[in-house]
Amino acid sequence: MAVCRVDTFCCGCTLRTGAFIIGWVDLILGVLKTFWNTYQIANDCHICWGFATINFLSVPLGGCLLIGTLKERKSFLWTWVCAWWLLIPIAAILYILILVDTMYNYYNYNIVVDILLFIEIYYNVVVRSYAISIKEREDGT
């Protein structure tokens, strides 16, 4: 029995559909957030370099997830999962630095940051569950 595993994505969608949706979300939001971070960097937001790097990396990772989902290649899915398990703590540290810096100015922003981190962790659990299900199907278990 696997720890942190789900059987379906939101609203009862299959894990494959969920991974496909997550791949497109990563791809599209990665491009948009990279442009936004570039704008912020131009306006002297030095911590935004970290976010720009994470968002820039989410574009090829989203492509990797889409290819892995369409061709059902668990190696592509595991690449996405492992990369995000490295990027999520980095993003959390960056979010904490921003929260400390803007604690008194942007209370609503703090709530949004918490929600985004939990969504990224949930996305990771969904893709990991999908990769495990492909492995189990291949092994015949």
Does residue 89 lie within any of the structural domains?
yes
Give the C-alpha separation, 65 to 12, whole Å: 20
Does residue 8 lie within any of the structural domains?
no
- Residue range 57-92, pLDDT digits in tens: 889 999 999 999 999 999 999 999 999 999 888 888
Give mean pLDDT, residues 130-137: 90
Predicted confidence band of residue 115 (pLDDT cuts 50, 70, 90):
confident
Radius of gyration of the chain (CA): 16
Which residue range is the domain that position 85 belongs to? Answer: 14-136
DSSP, collapsed to helix, strand or coil, labels residue 84 as helix
Give the C-alpha separation, 32 to 35, whole Å: 5
- The structure's pTM equals 0.83
Does residue 90 lie within any of the structural domains?
yes
Predicted confidence band of residue 95 (pLDDT cuts 50, 70, 90):
confident
Does residue 3 lie within any of the structural domains?
no
Tell me what pLDDT residue 45 has.
73
Tell me what pLDDT residue 28 has.
92
Does residue 9 lie within any of the structural domains?
no
79 CB-near residues (< 8 Å, 6+ apart): 61, 64, 68
Q: What is the mean pLDDT of the chain?
A: 84
Looking at residue 7, the DSSP 8-state letter turns out to be S
Does residue 103 lie within any of the structural domains?
yes
Does residue 1 lie within any of the structural domains?
no
Q: How many domains does the chain have?
A: 1
Q: Quick check: 81 and 89 in contact, CB under 8 A? A: no
Does residue 141 lie within any of the structural domains?
no
